[in-house]
Amino acid sequence: MPALAGEYALRGADSGGATRTLPTHLKYATLTPTVEEEEKKTPGQLIAELRGEVKLPLDLQRPKIIELLNIAEFTHQVASVVPLDDPIFQPTPPAVMFDSFEPLAEYTVELRLRNNDSVARRVKVLPPASAVFSVERRQTAAANTKIAPGMDVVFVVRFAPRDPVDYVCDLICVTEREKFVVPMRARGPRAILDFPDLVAFGTHPVRSTATEAVLVRNSGGRPSRVSVTVPPPFSVSPAHALLAVDEPVQFEFAFSPSACGRAEAEMRIEYETGEVCYAYMTGEATDVDVRLEASSVRAAHTYVTLRSQRTVRVVNRSGAPVSYRWKLYADARDERDDKLERLLHLASLEAAAEGGLLPASMDDPAAQRLF
């Protein structure tokens, strides 16, 4: 009979393609060997997550199998439709998480283990290694009762924190074929730094520096160091800071474009507790209306050993102050190419001097090219 809509199909690696369908109310997500790369969070999204305003779903990772057992020692049903790299029982949730807890209080979470095999199987959970965690089976039947195919067994995980710190422990589940791990994590208080999602510099003259000051406050429950990384043409000062609870720190962002056009970059913000978020920085550089009053200058006639002079005015018709200087070359590339040519020629003259072929005087055109 074909599977109905909403049914969950199980296929085993050694079952010859046989398919077993479960009723709609037992529908379960498929385990995947890998998890897609996590989406980059903005500071606003990270703040909402740390404050508990948004609960992100847990990634449905394949549980880690730490030991394979001889199934024949526990049952005569040695054939299984569950692939060997998947545990027979699938945990829900895949990781037990506790967040926003208070010391000396008690919290509980239900952990369900579903039998994904085609025959009844046993499962047990070993006591946690940490004293702040405990686990007990909900007594709906005897502790050694087998779990029917597609059915769940429920365990209650208790968490009794003593201090407002992070707790990490692994819960070891034992089936007739393997031992696998369900991670347990408790996240203590975190710093909450209110960085903006966007730092926009607008339009500024090219080869000038624009600055934006941003006041960041730690509204979380613990002090934290933070590292801010930005790529050129942007920069930040300070790049590292320590923010106590309710303490503000001013960060100064700078935009120093070397060419005309729009610039966009990601600012990486990393807390010392491992949280990372990304803000965006934008800016646009344009040429300003700065020109010479006259397009050419003609020097007046004068006598030998005397000199004549003319005044040249540089007019800034833009609304921004501009620094300038007179240069021999039109751009940095021409200057670099000419310097390289001079260095190469100087090296050839040094080689010629060692061979006794140096020009006899500075009147030699070869020597004059260096000056």
Q: What pLDDT was estimated at residue 10?
A: 37
Q: What pLDDT was estimated at residue 13?
A: 38
- Residue 308 makes CB contacts below 8 A (sequence gap 6+) with 299, 300, 301, 302
Q: Beta strand pairing status for 276-286 and 248-255?
A: unpaired
What mean pLDDT is reported for the chain? 82
Q: What percent of the chain has pLDDT over 90?
A: 40
3-state secondary structure of 49: helix
Type of residue found at 315: V
The answer to whether the CB of 237 falls within 8 A of the CB of 230 is: no
Q: What pLDDT was estimated at residue 352?
A: 81
The answer to whether the CB of 251 falls within 8 A of the CB of 279 is: no
pLDDT at 3 over 50: no
The DSSP call for residue 32 is: B
- Tell me: the pLDDT tens digits for 144-177? 688 999 899 999 999 999 998 889 999 999 999 9
- Tell me: the pLDDT tens digits for 294-313? 888 888 888 888 888 888 88
- Tell me: the pLDDT tens digits for 212-233? 999 999 998 889 999 999 999 9
**Nearest residue to 193 (alpha-carbon basis) of 279, 266, 254, 280:** 279
Higher pLDDT, 155 or 141: 155
- Tell me: the pLDDT tens digits for 353-366? 777 655 545 555 55
3-state secondary structure of 336: helix
pLDDT at 4 over 70: no
Hunting for tokens 């393609």 — which residue is that? 17
- Cα angle at 224 between 220 and 226, to 5 degrees? 115
**Nearest residue to 91 (alpha-carbon basis) of 172, 187, 149, 159:** 172
Pick from 91-95, 239-243, 318-322 the range whose average pLDDT is largest: 239-243
Q: Beta strand pairing status for 96-99 and 133-137?
A: unpaired
